[in-house]
Amino acid sequence: MSKENPFSMHRQSFWEEVAADTELPLWNRVAALAFACHRRNGHANFVGKNRELAFLLGKPGKGGWEHVPSDQISRAIKRAKKAGWIAEESNSRCLVVPHHAIAGGLGNEHENCSVHVGRRTGARRAA
């Protein structure tokens, strides 16, 4: 591996497709959704009707759309944190990509997060 830290951009639509793949482990899908939806500050909020993780990570079922149970969401978030794919401050209302993993996106890197008010608000802030 190079001593340099090369930069490459990613398409968030690709990560949306990964998150929608029900064949993948749920923790991978949670992490993919963070990368699909994060703003420039690294935060991806999932608050509001049809924005909750349980809905977004669900799948078609016999009686309509099957939401993912909240206990499964919690376990998947813990697993994604342990794997280093999402930051420790992530929760079911806001997934946060690791500070060092991103640059760019919509918004401002110092934009306040409505879920993490008074806590880390910029993706580039030193740990």
Each residue's pLDDT tens digit, 95-114: 999 988 877 788 888 888 88
Which of 54 and 8 is assigned the larger pLDDT? 54
- Helix H, strand E, coil C: the string for 50-64 is CCCHHHHCCEEECCE
What is the pLDDT of the chain when averaged over all its residues? 86
Mean pLDDT of 78-87: 97
Q: What proportion of the chain, given as a percentage, has pLDDT over 90? A: 56
Grade residue 2 by pLDDT with cuts at 50, 70 and 90: low
Helix (H, G, I), strand (E, B) or coil at 95: strand
Q: Domains of the chain: which residue ranges?
A: 12-101
Return d(Cα 39, Cα 32) in angstroms, integer: 14
Q: Is pLDDT at 7 greater than 80 in this prediction?
A: no
**Proportion of the chain in helix, strand, coil states, percent, rounded to 5:** 30, 10, 60
Grade residue 45 by pLDDT with cuts at 50, 70 and 90: very high
pTM over 0.75: yes
DSSP 12-44: HHHHHHHHT-TTS-HHHHHHHHHHHH--TTSEE
Tell me the β-bridge partners of 95: 44
